[in-house]
A and B are shown apart, each in its own frame.
Chain A
């Protein structure tokens, strides 16, 4: 038996690059990298038949936004451009706690929520604000999103203001903070200014 040491041939790696390129191109084609962003909303649960209707809300507590099929907007019975909605909504959400008799702004109440009492004191006035949004079937999606965005901005700016006054930090900083105390503070702010956007069942208001 001839014991000959066979030389192992080296594998040719020249085509390795081609194979890798092929795989790369496959992944480039079949995958997406876009980061999805959007406005998060929670729909109201379906209406059950045996549930009594909720108690009526006083009109002065409601900030009414109407949008018609011509993409015109009526806010609290006044014609308005969508750019101005944020400031109007902010004014309404903040209200005038010092002058509760003013009919243009919502009423105030005192909360018994332990979290609010802990961070804001027992007699902190809380607005009973609700934003009501009603649109036509012919309203454009663009206007609808612009309205939703303006309202969301109004809420987040009011929250920022309150958080800044009370804790010296913006609401988002509190919410995104690692500390438990800060997160609790953010929760208190959220309870103080809940984002209440009510969407009426759509109507064909035309126009």
Chain B
């Protein structure tokens, strides 16, 4: 008895018709869950860890101030000491009032009091530069600040 038919059995090709749908689904997922990267970092920072952290809610109302040692390729010009980065450029503490004004002018007037200034500071930075920044923020009446930290789950404090 012959069960098998003679001849080569051909495997039907996998249909790729649904591939665009799958990719579009992925695309929409990423479009919804992410936000646009606004600046390219010129400084590096390792963010400290803490337990009692709160989430920053509305990203459109957050202005970032980065402090840390410059990136490797920039160290030849800028040195290795921690620097302040506002928007896309290096800055001095005295530039902060201007920065605050520009952030405020870009924000809806009703939402200006809700503006938060997030300090992303490298763990190895000394407080001197942070204190300078804080004093400038105070002068510019930008009082809501947020020390950017990541959350630790275990009880140990990493120092």
Report A's interface with B, CB cutoff 8 A.
Answer: 13-14, 16-17, 19-21, 23-24, 27-28, 30-33, 35-46, 69, 82-83, 135-146, 148-150, 152-153, 156, 202
Q: How far is the CA of A36 from the CA of B146 in the complex (A)?
A: 10
A32/B37 in contact, CB under 8 A: yes
Chain A residues with Cβ below 8 Å from B137 are 43
Q: Kindly list chain B residues whose C-beta atoms are within 8 Å of the C-beta of A42.
A: 143-145
A27-B34 contact given A40-B146, A45-B143, A153-B51, CB 8 Å threshold: yes
Q: By the criterion CB–CB under 8 Å, are A46 and B148 in contact?
A: no
Q: A17-B23, A20-B23, A141-B130 are in contact. Are A46 and B124 (CB under 8 A)?
A: no
Query: With A and B bound together, what is the CA distance between A40 and B126 in angstroms?
Result: 20
Tell me how far the C-beta of B29 lies from the nearest C-beta in chain A, rounded to whole angstroms. Answer: 9
Tally inter-chain residue pairs, CB-CB below 8 A.
160
Of the candidates B59, B141, B149, which one forms a contact with A37 in the assembled complex, judged by CB atoms under 8 Å apart?
B149
In the bound assembly, the distance between CA atoms of A38 and B144 in angstroms comes to 12
A-side contacts of B128, CB under 8 Å: 137-138, 202
CB neighbors of A among B134-159 (8 A): 134, 137-139, 141-151, 157, 159
The 10 listed contacts between A and B (C-beta, < 8 Å) are A16-B19, A20-B24, A36-B118, A39-B52, A39-B54, A40-B146, A41-B146, A137-B126, A144-B127, A152-B52
